[in-house]
Structure 1
Amino acid sequence: MRQPICKWFFLLAPLAICVSLGLHQDSLGAEEDTTPGAPRLLPKDTLAYIRIDNVDDMRTDMAASSMGRMMNDPKLKPFVSEVYTTLSGLFEQFGAQIGLSLEELLAIPTGQVAAAAMPANLSERDEELVEDEADSDSPEAIRRRIERKREQQNAIAGIFILEAGKNLDNMMSLVDRLEEQMILGGYVRRTSKVKGTTIVKLLPPRQGRPEVEYFTKDDTLIFGIGHDTAAKSLEQWTGTSEEDSLADRADFTSLMSRCIGAEETRPQLTFFFDPYRFVERLVNRGGAAALVWPLVENLGVSKIRGIGGSTFQGGEVFEDIAHMHILLDPPRDGMFGVLRPETGDTTPPNWVPDDVSGYLTLNWDFEQTYENLDKLIATFQGADPMKRFVEEPVKQAVGLSIKEDILDNLTGRFVTASWMEPPVRLNSQTRLFGLELKDGLNAKGVIAKIRDKRPNDIEVETIGGVVVYGPKNERQRNLPENFRQPKPGVIILGKWIIFSDSRKLLTRVTQANADSMPRLVNVPEYDLVSSELGGKLDGETPFMVSFMRGADSIRQVYDLAKSPDTLRFMRSSAENNPFLARMLGLLETNELPDFKEFEKYFAPTGSFAYDETGGMHFGWFTLKADD
């Protein structure tokens, strides 16, 4: 009987990550740190890694967060408890299989939790062959040859690290059940001891299936897929390894210094990803992608040295803070030549209404991006691809020159905003896109050219004295009942050309521009986010800034949950869906509190991005709600 190992491994890894969110569990406090940080236990050439620093601390922080306070609010707690009871009931069948209740499962992790992928180690037989090839070489030369061979085999291994403290027995009961199933599937159990620690190896019944091994030390489980994956981690732990760890890797430390060193506190979560080497290994294992990979490499994809990130509990001012850094080797050419951010004004234009759900502005060298995109595509399609595939067809269809009529008239500033169009629907969210122009009259002339060329395709109407251009005789989309029917339109306001799929939103834009309704730029929440943004830029000038009201998306879910249409849909689908049936019963027997009881726990979010010679940095933060 064959049991898929990956199924069990990927059950354990997400499980440990997810249970850290178990807010109903009492935090026992972090036990004394005895396990080295995951980067000290992982190989230098790790491909991907994610780590929670301390689950108990995260539970404590989350209990004190706005979400935690909301879930413990006396007015909301009965509803939250009912939801938790529903989830516990749905978990019973799975819990019976693993021998643990939901509460026991959520309580397992107490300290560090990490998962990683890395190049698989050579088997013992392959290492012997490498050594036999050069008996006269020094041990160091043989070690380097083994590392090269390891890199060339393209297999990927995995490792999972979990500090369980006094809950280790519950964790091991899961591992024991996995081991039983694997032995039934033909695996053979072997054990060995290294410095007093027992390593359990599960050897596959045939070639092509991975070895599995694990050990426990200081109330920590290390579980590996692949030959010697856990064993080498133990060598790093005991200080007997001759190999460098991930913590010794320059790319990793450079990324983490930008993401961890950005704040004064320890990060709750960190991650690292080496996309080039990860994808390279997948491609080299075979398949059609291997045929085009050399072309992709010639475009400079190897310039990506890594992506890293971190999240923090924010303290008194911020609910949470996150950083992400992309490390790129200069110069910015090849496929990265299209990345041309610029610095510029990020203040919301006067036409952005005050009640938008989100706002984002970006400064970009569109003309240089277009030119470099032409060079990039020419690698595959021959000379002047943009001229052949874009410029000439557009010229023939509407009589426009992409460069002269469009690109030359752009300042490089882009704005997008979202708004919830009432009444509430699944597709209530509308969006607008705006490009700043050097000459608004020139843009009107361009639209006039299009209308002359295609007189039957564009209709014109006026909103608040502003001309709106839209498709003529557009058919209504075949959308479900009670869905919003999009109605696209384009307007020119001064030096801005603005597109939206909602005429109601365009109407509000014209009203804000005329100062007949409030503007986002004057909203205190935006001003607060903007003022806090300066402290997170580390002296850099951003090319992107955004603002978002978190409560708006929650409001949509809340309104939909109370909608009669939603309840009708749930009733019609609940018969064949136990989860929907339980949630329907929950909504029918428990009246949702007034939305104000939810809204007070959500504060605005801001984000930013700035460019550097060696990469790009992104940041997000949410202000602490004043409940």
Structure 2
Amino acid sequence: MSRYFLTAAALFAAVLPAQAQDKVGSEQILPQDTYLYLSFPSISAMKEQMTASSFGRIWNDPSMEDFKAEVEGAFGGNLDEGLAQLQAVMGMSLDQLMNIPSGEMSMAISGGPGNSLGLTMFLDFGSSEDEVNGLLDKTVQILESSPDLILSEESFDGTDITMFQVDFNGAAPPTPLAKEFGWFVKDERLVFASRQELLEGVLSNWSGEEKSLMDNENYAYILGKCQTSPSKAMTKVYFDPYGLFNGLVETQSLPQDVLLGAAGVLGVLQTVGINQMKGFGGVSETGNDVFESVSRTVVMMDQPAQGLMRMFQLGKIEQAPPSWVKENANAYIAVNWKIDEAYSAIAGTVNMLMGGNAFESQIDALAQEGPGVHIKEDVIDVLNGDLRIVLAPGEGEGYGTDQILIVLGIKDDESAKDLLTKLTAQAPVESREFKGATIYEGPGPTPGQSVSLTVSQGRFMVAIGGGILEQVLRDDDDVRPLAETDEYKAIAEHFPSEAVSVQFTKPAEQYRGIYDILRSGDIADQFPGSEDILSQIDFSTLPDFDQIAKHIKPVGGYSVSNENGVFSETFQVK
């Protein structure tokens, strides 16, 4: 059955949406009990945003003309042949297909009338009704040819509904999710669903006057925190994983042999506190005078955290990168994880489920094996929760040679050194002294790279690429710290003082390495098996990277905790 479902969905996907400005949005029509929701409110606005984005500006930069001509020459013939085949199958050209969309496209997994649950898709097509009806006619022809599908024409509130029942050779379907699918067309909108009840539920609230997803308290809260204006929204996402799992159990939408076990799992999830997770979601928006684009997300949880949810608590951080993070850093992330709380949450949950001090006993037993590391005494009690990650350009050539530095804050250097000694005692590493620190070094993930570990001045450091570790230990005054650069300052001014995590990225510098490999003609060596495609293009026609790097601005982000969970924002400056 799945292949027919996918065939129908794929043909519908070709009919991307077009939406009149006054049309009721899908979030006002979908049931209040919606567990997963993804919406592109305006495909036409998204196209405009793509053109105005950094990648759109790069593609339209005059310096790219030679490369675009090269691509056209390399693939033009095959493309023309493919477009001709598409037109023969679809009955319309690619341009006609691409001219259909201009409004909303969305999908959701929701509950519905009659204790039902399933998938619903909204595709708005504007004035392209003839083209859409042509595609639907072809869809019906394809599906009718299957002996496993039975076509029926239904009607609800004056709207015709096309339904296909799945025939399991007279047997009951393994799950209600697999028994049928169908669609209807109304008011320049195509709606597809995996259950007839869902289609009827949508028609019952077509005007958006009844209870809907907008009345879901969790979704409404997330939308209120993340959306500044409906006209700016490019994407909207919402997911309630616990609610979805609970809905699958309550509606008996899982196979019978799975349902009983799933009900037991649901009880365990409640016991360990996972039901405190109320959902997460976010909105990405077009930019403003300061930002090119902004994305905001919320992870919504009941407070105070209980059970395993205590694992995810964050503390306030020192935002500014330390002086040893230098200006050559491509990315910087800082977060403070309440690691003691996390360990306590795991221990308490395991002991509750298994009884006694089962967790502590297991940890003690593990400490008698291997290098003899006691997770609580040698690791958890030594770390203070600070975590900083730094990325910098690699010292070698080739893709994937960027240096990575992971720095864990520690309470006591001597205890951390003892831990490092245990970890490296039987490992294939060599040790050396540098600036008063003992560096343990072994082979890295790619040829020419190394993995280095050391403890110094309240830091347990792990580096891929030895150069960055030595740079940190030197902390030379003649190399400017990242915190003093204009690029970082332009990002950091938007960080709130109460942030529990911050991030800074220079995408241009991260892309530079792979771009230069493209221009050199060695890209096929980096991706074995792709020679046939990559060899058809002369990548030396690409402009020098500095000619397009001006379009790629730094990206920043932060997270803050509040009474309902964690709010995060990521933005790219202009």
TM-score under structure 2 normalisation? Answer: 0.86
Residues 345-389 of structure 1: CA deviation (Å, up to 9, x unaligned): 121112212212211111122112111111122244443344333
1:174 corresponds in structure 2 to 135
Distance 2:223 2:427 in 1: 57
1:111 lines up with 2:61 in the alignment: no
Q: Report the Cα offset of residue 445 of structure 1.
A: 5.2
Distance 1:246 1:228 in 2: 17
Pair 106,81 (structure 1): closer, same or farther in 2 beyond 3 Å: farther
1:547 corresponds in structure 2 to 504
Residues 59-78 of structure 1: CA deviation (Å, up to 9, x unaligned): 22222222222221122145
Distance 1:115 1:78 in 2: 40
Q: Map 1:515-554 onto structure 2 (within 5 A).
A: 515-534=477-496, 541-554=498-511
Q: Report the Cα offset of residue 594 of structure 1.
A: 0.9
Give the one of 156, 177, 193 matched to 1:224.
Answer: 193
Distance 2:29 2:69 in 1: 39
Q: Report the Cα offset of residue 264 of structure 1.
A: 8.9
1:267 lines up with 2:240 in the alignment: no
1:577 corresponds in structure 2 to none
For the 8 Å contact 1:44–1:244, the answer to whether it is kept is yes
Give the one of 476, 496, 508 matched to 1:514.
Answer: 476
Pair 613,581 (structure 1): closer, same or farther in 2 beyond 3 Å: same
For the 8 Å contact 1:3–1:182, the answer to whether it is kept is no
Ranges in structure 2 where 5+ consecutive residues have no aligned partner: none
Q: Map 1:312-323 onto structure 2 (within 5 A).
A: 312-323=285-296
1:59 lines up with 2:47 in the alignment: yes
The secondary structure found in structure 2 opposite 1:435 is: strand
Q: Which letter does structure 2 place at the counterpart of 1:522?
A: E
1:586 corresponds in structure 2 to 537
Q: Report the Cα offset of residue 53 of structure 1.
A: 1.5
Pair 591,179 (structure 1): closer, same or farther in 2 beyond 3 Å: same
Q: Report the Cα offset of residue 573 of structure 1.
A: 4.0
Q: Report the Cα offset of residue 398 of structure 1.
A: 4.7
1:407 lines up with 2:388 in the alignment: no
1:484 corresponds in structure 2 to 447
1:165 corresponds in structure 2 to 126
Give the one of 432, 435, 448 matched to 1:461.
Answer: 432
2:62 corresponds in structure 1 to 74
1:356 corresponds in structure 2 to 329
1:6 lines up with 2:5 in the alignment: yes
The secondary structure found in structure 1 opposite 2:495 is: helix
1:200 lines up with 2:188 in the alignment: no
Q: Report the Cα offset of residue 118 of structure 1.
A: 1.7
For the 8 Å contact 1:210–1:227, the answer to whether it is kept is no
Residues 47-98 of structure 1: CA deviation (Å, up to 9, x unaligned): 2111111111222222222222222112214534665765945853455433
Q: Which letter does structure 1 place at the counterpart of 2:551?
A: Y
For the 8 Å contact 2:11–2:139, the answer to whether it is kept is no
Q: Map 1:41-56 onto structure 2 (within 5 A).
A: 41-56=29-44
Distance 1:400 1:223 in 2: 56
TM-score under structure 1 normalisation? Answer: 0.80
Distance 2:333 2:462 in 1: 15
Distance 1:205 1:396 in 2: 57
Q: Which letter does structure 1 place at the counterpart of 2:140?
A: E
2:244 corresponds in structure 1 to 278
1:255 lines up with 2:222 in the alignment: yes
For the 8 Å contact 1:13–1:115, the answer to whether it is kept is no
Distance 2:156 2:383 in 1: 68
Distance 2:68 2:122 in 1: 31
Q: Map 1:8-27 onto structure 2 (within 5 A).
A: 8-12=7-11
Give the one of 222, 235, 252 matched to 2:204.
Answer: 235
For the 8 Å contact 1:425–1:484, the answer to whether it is kept is no
1:502 corresponds in structure 2 to 465
Q: Report the Cα offset of residue 310 of structure 1.
A: 0.3
Distance 1:530 1:329 in 2: 30
For the 8 Å contact 2:366–2:374, the answer to whether it is kept is no
Distance 2:34 2:217 in 1: 12
1:134 corresponds in structure 2 to none
Q: Which letter does structure 2 place at the counterpart of 1:258?
A: K
Q: Which letter does structure 1 place at the counterpart of 2:67?
A: F
The secondary structure found in structure 2 opposite 1:119 is: strand
Pair 348,57 (structure 1): closer, same or farther in 2 beyond 3 Å: same
The secondary structure found in structure 2 opposite 1:216 is: strand
Q: Which letter does structure 2 place at the counterpart of 1:216?
A: V
Distance 1:467 1:516 in 2: 24
For the 8 Å contact 2:233–2:285, the answer to whether it is kept is yes
Distance 1:37 1:456 in 2: 59
For the 8 Å contact 1:44–1:246, the answer to whether it is kept is yes
Pair 328,448 (structure 1): closer, same or farther in 2 beyond 3 Å: closer
Distance 1:165 1:176 in 2: 18
Distance 2:199 2:150 in 1: 17
Distance 1:515 1:621 in 2: 31
The secondary structure found in structure 2 opposite 1:166 is: coil
Q: Which letter does structure 2 place at the counterpart of 1:600?
A: K
Pair 355,172 (structure 1): closer, same or farther in 2 beyond 3 Å: farther
Q: Which letter does structure 2 place at the counterpart of 1:592?
A: L
1:365 lines up with 2:359 in the alignment: no
Q: Report the Cα offset of residue 437 of structure 1.
A: 2.5
Q: Which letter does structure 1 place at the counterpart of 2:246?
A: E
Q: How large is the RMSD of aligned CA atoms in angstroms? A: 3.1
Q: Which letter does structure 2 place at the counterpart of 1:607?
A: G
For the 8 Å contact 1:427–1:484, the answer to whether it is kept is no
Q: Which letter does structure 1 place at the counterpart of 2:47?
A: R
Distance 1:200 1:456 in 2: 65
1:567 lines up with 2:524 in the alignment: yes
2:410 corresponds in structure 1 to 437
The more displaced of 349-358 and 317-326 is: 349-358
Residues 284-312 of structure 1: CA deviation (Å, up to 9, x unaligned): 61456625443233212222222121001
2:555 corresponds in structure 1 to 605
Q: Which letter does structure 1 place at the counterpart of 2:309?
A: F
Pair 432,276 (structure 1): closer, same or farther in 2 beyond 3 Å: same
For the 8 Å contact 1:159–1:225, the answer to whether it is kept is yes
For the 8 Å contact 2:156–2:200, the answer to whether it is kept is no
Pair 378,78 (structure 1): closer, same or farther in 2 beyond 3 Å: farther
Q: Which letter does structure 2 place at the counterpart of 1:595?
A: F
1:127 corresponds in structure 2 to none
Distance 1:175 1:495 in 2: 65
1:558 corresponds in structure 2 to 515
For the 8 Å contact 2:300–2:564, the answer to whether it is kept is yes
Q: Report the Cα offset of residue 322 of structure 1.
A: 0.5
Pair 352,583 (structure 1): closer, same or farther in 2 beyond 3 Å: same
Pair 529,181 (structure 1): closer, same or farther in 2 beyond 3 Å: same
For the 8 Å contact 1:467–1:492, the answer to whether it is kept is yes
Q: Which letter does structure 1 place at the counterpart of 2:565?
A: G
Distance 1:391 1:616 in 2: 34
Pair 369,98 (structure 1): closer, same or farther in 2 beyond 3 Å: same
For the 8 Å contact 2:123–2:190, the answer to whether it is kept is yes
Q: Which letter does structure 2 place at the counterpart of 1:4?
A: R
